[in-house]
Amino acid sequence: MCYYVDTQITRKAVKEIYGVYTEKADFKSAIFLNGFSHPEIPVIFDESPDTLSTASWGLIPFWAKDRAIQKQTLNAKIETIKEKPSFKNNYNKRCLVLVNGFYEWKWLDDKGKQKNKHYLTVKDQEIFSLGGIYSRWTDKESGEEVATVTIVTTQANELMAEIHNSKHRMPVILHHKIEKEWLSDRDIETFAFPNHESELLAINLDMNDEPTTLFG
């Protein structure tokens, strides 16, 4: 899955790489951002592809009474996204979730009591995007409209299956060249592994290993 990311990106870098307006995006820049705290993360919405925006991590569907559901909607499986009540009304509302990297743990025993922490990034890309979908939810008490997002996951490739050996999942990682397609009306299922991959760089943070790369 994908619950922890590196968002040490700068507005200057985003503007240079993506050519978008960045001034109103108020996100938290952090080397280790915990999704369960539901932070505001940097995104580019399909409805405003020329602007860097933010959204609260953990999608809240329009019918939710409060924010409690967010802890269950940090990720959405691409294989079931069209059927799940939390996501089925939003799977064509696409966004790019901009990160420097993400984290995953490899289980060293059957119950996961011992783990190795890994850092994943994309080779030769300072910033890259994860496939996201979003919702605009209205807080019934305050009347405030809140943008919320979930990161879409797919079956793990060879490298990620070795690292995420408990569930064999990974986020949908987008090449710069297909980001516009993600934001279009292209069928979301066509982005599932093994239809495309990015060249991942993995670093075992607990073992101080040399970076490992794989392009499937």
**Per CATH, the architecture of 4-214 is what?**
Alpha-Beta Complex (3.90)
**Cis before 194 (ω within 30):** yes
Residue type for position 21: Y
Burial of residue 145, with CB atoms counted within 10 A of its CB: 0-12 exposed, 13-18 middle, 19 or more buried: exposed
How confident is the model over 107-156, as pLDDT tens digits? Answer: 898 887 889 999 999 988 899 999 999 999 999 888 999 999 999 999 99
Tell me what percent of the residues of the chain surpass a pLDDT of 70: 96
Read off the pLDDT band of 214 (50, 70, 90).
very low
0.85 exceeded by pTM:
yes
pLDDT for 33 beyond 70: yes
